[in-house]
Structure 1
Amino acid sequence: MTDTDPFGRAIFDFQRDELEEPLIQRDGDEAHEHPMRENYFGELNSTSGERGRWLVSMLEGPLLDIGAGAGRDTLYFQEQFETVAIEVSEHLVETMRERGVTDARRADMFELRGTFERDRFRSALVYGTQLGLAGSMQGLRRFLGDLAFVTTSDATAIVDCYDPEREETADLLGYRADPTPGLAYRVMHFEYDGAIGETLLFRLFSPDRLREAAVGTGWDVAEIRRSPATPHYRAALEK
C-alpha cells in the first residue's frame, strides 16, 4: 500500500483504531472534517430506516457493489446472496476484507467491461455520489452502457447524486456553478496525516439529466427518492 491514497488510508486506520488525525475534505481555504463512522461504518439491514428498507426491496443477487467503501452495505447483502464489492483503493479493499467481506476486489468502476463478463450481475449498487466522477454527460452515458453490459436484461441498479437544481447544493464544499440547466461541478481533495490526495472532479446531474443520459444505454430511471433536508437524491434504474 502507498501513501498516495489519504482517503483510503484514513478509513483503513479508522477500522484498526489507529487513526492519526481527522480526514479532511478541502477546496482551497475551505476545509471540513469528513465523517467516517456514520458514512462508512454504520449497519444496513431491512429495518435500518427508509434507506435500508428501500435498498433491500430493490436489489437482488448476484449484486455488484461499486465503490463499496468499507463494505457497510456489502456485509448485509452477502448474507442474502452473492455480492461482489469493488474499490479502486487497495486500502479500502483490505479494510473490507478485514471486516469480513468475502469477495472484495480492486477494480475501476469505469472499466467494468474489461473486468466482468456480460450479464454477470442481477443488480448493482453505486452509492456514495461517485457517479459524478463520470465527469460529463458523455462519461455518464458510457458508464451506464458499461453497467448495462455486465448486468442481466432484467437488472436493477441504485445510484445517487446531488441535484444542482436545488438551492442548497451551492453550499456543498467545492461547488462550482454551470450555466447549463441541471448540471454543476464539485471540486475537492482529501488530506490525511500529511498526505494530499489527487483533485477530484465531480459532475453533478439533476434527475432530468440522469434520465437524458440513460437514453440508449438500456436503462430507464424508474424512481427518484429525495432527502428532505439536503439536495441529495437516489435513483432506481431498471432495464
Structure 2
Amino acid sequence: MSDPFAQALHDFHFDQMKGPLLYRRGAETEEVEIEFYFDEFTADGSWLESLLDGPLLDMGAGAGRHSLYFQDQFETVAIEQNETLVEILRDRGVTDARRVNMFTLPDAFETNRFRSAIAFGTQVGLSRSMQGLREFLNDLAYVTTPDATAVIDGFDPEHEKTKSKLDYYSDPSKGLAYRLLQMEYDGTVGEPWLYRLFTPSRVREATTDTEWEVSEIKYGPEHIYQLALRKR
C-alpha cells in the first residue's frame, strides 16, 4: 500500500495536490496542515542550536526543514525510510539524504559516526514500547561519539491537549499512552502507525542501562516537550 503522508507531501511540494491529507479514526476525519512541514526553520542561537554539533543525524527528516538549516552549519545527514520523502529532501536541497530506517541505525552507519542527532515529529514514539525505546537508544549510542548529544520530542500523554487528539488512546500504565495514526489522501487510506507516548519521566526511566541520560527538558508549546540527551 502506498504511503498517503509521503504522497501528499510530494504532491504539495510539486504543486500537484489532489485534495486534503486527513487523519482518520473510523468515520471521523481531521485535515492535516501540510504547510508546517515546509516552513523555514531558523534556530537564531536558540537552546536547540547550542546543544548540537556536526556531524549531525536528522532522523525522520520529513521535508527537511531542520536539515536545510543545520547543513549550513556543519555536516548533516537526513534519513527517511520512504523513498518518496527522500526524493523531496533532495529536490529541496538537502545535500545528504538517505533512505534509512531510524530503528536499524547500526545497519546503515559505522560506530562513532555522528556527534549529534535529532528526531522531531514525535518519531521516537514509533519504538512502540519501553523496551523498543531502550533498543533505539542503544542503537543511537552505537552510531554516535562518546561525547554525543541528542534532542528528541514527544507529546506528553498526561496533557489534556494530547488526550483531545483524534488518534489518542489511553493506557492504564502511568506516564504512557498510544496514538494510532491513520492517514488518507486521494482515496487511499494508509496502514495505521502505532506510536507509544511517553512522559519525560518514562523516557528518563528508559535511559537506564543505556549510555544516555536526560540532561534537560523543555516544555511547550502546550503538550509538546523536547528532551536533551547526552552520553554518561
In structure 1, distance between residues paired with 2:161 and 2:153: 16
**Is contact 1:119–1:152 with CA below 8 Å preserved after alignment?**
yes
In structure 1, distance between residues paired with 2:48 and 2:18: 34
Q: Which residue of 1 aligns with 2:9?
A: 11
Q: 1:45 and 2:42 equivalent?
A: yes
Q: Which residue of 2 aligns with 1:22?
A: 20
Q: 1:213-228 counterparts in 2 under 5 A?
A: 213-228=206-221
Q: 1:29-108 counterparts in 2 under 5 A?
A: 29-38=27-36, 40-47=37-44, 53-108=46-101
Q: Which residue of 2 aligns with 1:148?
A: 141
Going from structure 1 to structure 2, the CA distance change for 1:181 and 1:108 (only over 3 Å counts) comes to: same
Per-residue deviation, 1:168: 2.6
Q: Which residue of 1 aligns with 2:228?
A: 236
Equivalent residue letter for 2:223 = P
Equivalent residue letter for 2:108 = T
In structure 1, distance between residues paired with 2:139 and 2:89: 25
Q: 1:159-238 counterparts in 2 under 5 A?
A: 159-228=152-221, 230-238=222-230
Per-residue deviation, 1:31: 1.2
**Is contact 1:123–1:157 with CA below 8 Å preserved after alignment?**
yes
Going from structure 1 to structure 2, the CA distance change for 1:182 and 1:105 (only over 3 Å counts) comes to: same
Deviates further, 162-171 or 206-215: 162-171
In structure 2, distance between residues paired with 1:36 and 1:57: 28
**Pairs aligned (count):** 231
Per-residue deviation, 1:26: 1.1
Equivalent residue letter for 1:43 = E
| Superposition CA RMSD, Å | 1.1
In structure 1, distance between residues paired with 2:88 and 2:137: 27
Equivalent residue letter for 2:39 = G
Partner of 1:7: helix, strand, or coil? helix
Normalised to the residue count of structure 1, the TM-score between the two structures is 0.94
Q: Deviations over 1:119-168 (max 9, x none)?
A: 00000010000111000000000000100110001000010111112233
Q: Once the two structures are aligned, what percentage of the paired residues are identical? A: 56
- Unmatched runs of 5 consecutive residues or more in structure 2: none
**Is contact 1:25–1:32 with CA below 8 Å preserved after alignment?**
yes
